[in-house]
Structure 1
Amino acid sequence: MPWVIFYLIRRQKAVVRENSGIFSIFCYMWVIPFVLLAFMSFFRRVGLHWSLAFCPFFFVCCIALFPADFVRLIRYSAVFSIVLVIFAGSAPFFARRAGQWCVPEKYSKLAMFVKPEIFCDIIRRNSAGRVLASDGYTEACVLGYHCKHYIALFASPSRSGRQDDIITDYRELDGRNFLIFSFDPDIIKKVGPYFETARQTIANQDGVTFYLVFGDRFIYSRYRSEHLSKILRAFYDIPPFLPIKGGYFYEKYFPETISSRKGRFNISAVSF
């Protein structure tokens, strides 16, 4: 892609003159979305996967814009891709030796991807009778996969991982004991208030460091009023003028906001 952009800049007048109609489609389908995403990146984090939806238009238009040079551009892209594949494939090899030079905090997070058995062994030994949870979306997904056990997302204000709002019902976990995994050394300050008692331990093994919070007797009412209410306002504040037939987050945690007469949600009616 970089050399295609270079080619366009170098021969922009000829390309526009010879392919004006096609070039217009090219702009609409690829350039404009990418420019908008680039502009948006100044105000919020934009994932690289957002741009993938527009890449097919980019390559289709390349064939139409410069068919004679397209094969050569493909060769350049193939070489570039091979280099990336080699680099990505060798990452686990270097990661297993990264503890010698990597910052300990960074190494622990890296090790979660290449040596997940370290984390899973410790979690299994301490998880008897406890609900497994994490304050990080990535940690919950990666360890949930490798440990073969679902890990809930607990006290996370991030927009990522809100699928857990559908999966986990914290009403049913009232009074339960939790085991919460985190890389944050101050995690107990964040999650401790939601339990009657909580204690934090540090786990060290093979250069990997992480933290476990043993929370006893989960206080759902406090979690609802202090955390879930923030999630409601941040991600589920549906404008009152929009018609809504249902909403899992409201129905589970804030049913009083549902108007039986109008079939709408009124967030101002929430009582915390």
Structure 2
Amino acid sequence: MNTHPASERATSQNTEWQNAPWLARHYGAVLLAVVLIKLAIAWTLPITGDEAYFLIWGQHPDLGYYDHPPMVGWWLSLILPLSEHPLAIRAPGILVSLAPSLAILLLWRREDPVRARLASLIALFVPLFFIAVLTATDTPLILFSLLATGLLWQALRSGAAHWFLLAGLALGLAFLSKYFAVLLGIAFGLHILLFARQHWRGLLLVILGVLPAVAVNLYWNWGHCWYNVMFNIVNRHGDGGFDPGNWLTYALLLIYLFTPWLLWFYARQWRALGAGIRRYRFAVFLSAGLIPLLVFALLAPFKSIGLHWLAAFAPFLLLPALFLSVRALAISAWLSGGLALVHAAILLTIALMPVEWLERHDRYPDAVFYLTPQALAEVVNAYDPDWPVFTRSYSRSAVLAYYAGREVGVFGPGSHYGRQDDLLTDFRALDGANLLYVPVRGELDPGHVEPFFEEVRVRTVEVRGVEWSLAEGHGFDYAAYHEQVLQPVLARYYDFPNWLPKGRCDFTNRYENSL
């Protein structure tokens, strides 16, 4: 009796899945469990300072913001009218953190479904992506970097002009997310010029696709004090130094990111990896991952490299895992899953534990502020809405603004980080007004407020065991504030270098000749 070919294939596939590792056979259940853990973390963790700061961007849609390009602000501006719940705000971060894993699965599921699932799970468990439940500037950067590199891979395989142009447009969206996209653009250019010179016209199309995003960015910066240029190139690099020990720190960061076991199997099975990369023309993915990481290695002795800096480039270096043996993939997936559970336990413990457990710690006031921000927000909301509220920190102001549901500005010089309030608060309009000043750790330094008011009344309240002093400033003296705070701010943060073309700057127009 003859067996039908379709029946033979089905029997072969069933046998393959019966012999597949447990994690591959239960991929859907594992993926669902990870999503539920992410939702639990996102539900329980208080809104962080960076998140709250980006929410301010979302409340004021614009073509750019003080620190970075505008993409995450645009995303949040679409979400906030629907809901301000943490899960809604963090939904893009959760979804994008799954994107590298799902991209690997979709790319390889027809070629080798078992390896596709196991490699997908490894990407799912990588600590950087597993704990990523926040929506930040890296969120759209990761998504559009994946899209741009995937489109370029397709362009190099097909040679079709439209794929190169689409890759450029996606790279432009990555550029409007975060300037690290420039490193991806460098990787694209070097890869084509060094390894695919026959596609040099395609590189021109990639550049053409990026130009609209660059034009939007330059237009906004020209009309807004060159904020991004001043922050990223001028103001934030005054205290750099050379420390070769940072190379070791960076190396440990990479080992933590890619996990020791995966790197071990990469080293043991490098011939199989090399053969697979050549066969499927994955070299562009290696360039997209390795070239930015090599740039960071050159910067490491001069600048501390953050783990999140690697987020847009790490996924491309997980793709070679597809060419590891099934046994190596299964072992790596199990070990990575165990590490992921440790991270989940730590985060959920921090989120759910009573803050009073930290009462004897020196940074207990900081823990009270960031782990139980609602408590201080209730104190602030006891004041009428006509009391403008300020803190001395952009992070504290943003968090307090989210939980109190009212605007909270920055009083004092602040730092070179997060000066979005320079675009929002006009201190001229507050002359003679009464202001509420909230110290960052509860302890009031009279010098921070007394020189700028006719009278300061101090009110002390208890917030989760911390004596928190609030300064009620009556009769704000704009002239004194202008002389002692705004003029030094102008000299420190608005001293434009000669090589920058002269543009518009509302901040300097507002305060340079305001008296």
TM-score range, shorter chain: 0.7 to 0.9
Among 284, 290, 302, which residue is 1:27 paired with? 290
Among 429, 435, 440, which residue is 1:178 paired with? 435
Within a 5 Å distance, the mapping from 1:210-229 to structure 2 comes to 210-229=468-487
Give the C-alpha shift of residue 18 in structure 1: 6.3
Write the distance in 2 (CA, Å) between the matches of 1:47 and 1:213: 36
Corresponding residue for 2:368? 111
Corresponding residue for 1:40? 302
The yes-or-no answer on 1:199 pairing with 2:457 is yes
Residue 57 of structure 1 aligns with an amino acid whose one-letter code is: F
Within a 5 Å distance, the mapping from 1:100-179 to structure 2 comes to 101-103=359-361, 106-127=363-384, 129-179=386-436
* Contact 1:130–1:179 under 8 Å retained in 2: yes
1:154-200 C-alpha deviation (Å, 9 max, x unpaired): 11431222011111111111111110101252432122212222233
In structure 2, list runs of 5 or more residues that go unmatched.
1-125, 127-254
Relative to its length, the structure with more strand (as a share) is 1
1:30-76 C-alpha deviation (Å, 9 max, x unpaired): 2x14424532345xxx554333333333334x436747544543443
Cα distance, 1:52–1:124 mapped onto 2, change above 3 Å: same
Cα distance, 1:117–1:18 mapped onto 2, change above 3 Å: closer
Corresponding residue for 2:3? none
Write the distance in 2 (CA, Å) between the matches of 1:235 and 1:56: 36
* Contact 1:178–1:218 under 8 Å retained in 2: yes
1:66-102 C-alpha deviation (Å, 9 max, x unpaired): 4754454344333222221222112132233415x53
Corresponding residue for 1:15? 270
Cα distance, 1:204–1:47 mapped onto 2, change above 3 Å: farther
In structure 1, list runs of 5 or more residues that go unmatched.
257-271
Write the distance in 1 (CA, Å) between the matches of 2:272 and 2:500: 47
Cα distance, 1:102–1:238 mapped onto 2, change above 3 Å: same
Corresponding residue for 1:63? 321
Count of residue pairs the alignment pairs up:
250
Moved more, 160-169 or 120-129: 120-129
Identity, % of aligned positions? 23
Cα distance, 1:18–1:180 mapped onto 2, change above 3 Å: same
Corresponding residue for 2:94? none
Cα distance, 1:128–1:64 mapped onto 2, change above 3 Å: closer
1:107-139 C-alpha deviation (Å, 9 max, x unpaired): 232122333332122212245642111112222
Corresponding residue for 1:259? none
Write the distance in 2 (CA, Å) between the matches of 1:153 and 1:91: 28
Give the C-alpha shift of residue 16 in structure 1: 8.4
Give the C-alpha shift of residue 249 in structure 1: 1.9
Q: TM-score normalised to the size of structure 2?
A: 0.43
Write the distance in 1 (CA, Å) between the matches of 2:265 and 2:310: 24
Within a 5 Å distance, the mapping from 1:47-86 to structure 2 comes to 47-60=306-319, 62-63=320-321, 66=324, 69-70=328-329, 72-86=331-345
Residue 291 of structure 2 aligns with an amino acid whose one-letter code is: Y
Corresponding residue for 2:250? none
* Contact 2:272–2:324 under 8 Å retained in 1: no
Corresponding residue for 2:89? none
SS, match of residue 121 in structure 1: helix
* Contact 1:196–1:219 under 8 Å retained in 2: yes
Which structure ranks higher in relative contact order (CA pairs < 8 Å, sequence separation ≥ 6)? 2
* Contact 2:460–2:467 under 8 Å retained in 1: yes
* Contact 2:355–2:367 under 8 Å retained in 1: no
The yes-or-no answer on 1:208 pairing with 2:470 is no
SS, match of residue 125 in structure 1: coil
SS, match of residue 446 in structure 2: helix
Corresponding residue for 1:265? none
Cα distance, 1:175–1:55 mapped onto 2, change above 3 Å: farther
The yes-or-no answer on 1:88 pairing with 2:343 is no
Residue 311 of structure 2 aligns with an amino acid whose one-letter code is: L
Give the C-alpha shift of residue 202 in structure 1: 2.6
Provide the alpha-carbon RMSD of the alignment: 3.2
* Contact 2:442–2:466 under 8 Å retained in 1: no
Q: TM-score normalised to the size of structure 1?
A: 0.76
Moved more, 117-126 or 213-222: 117-126
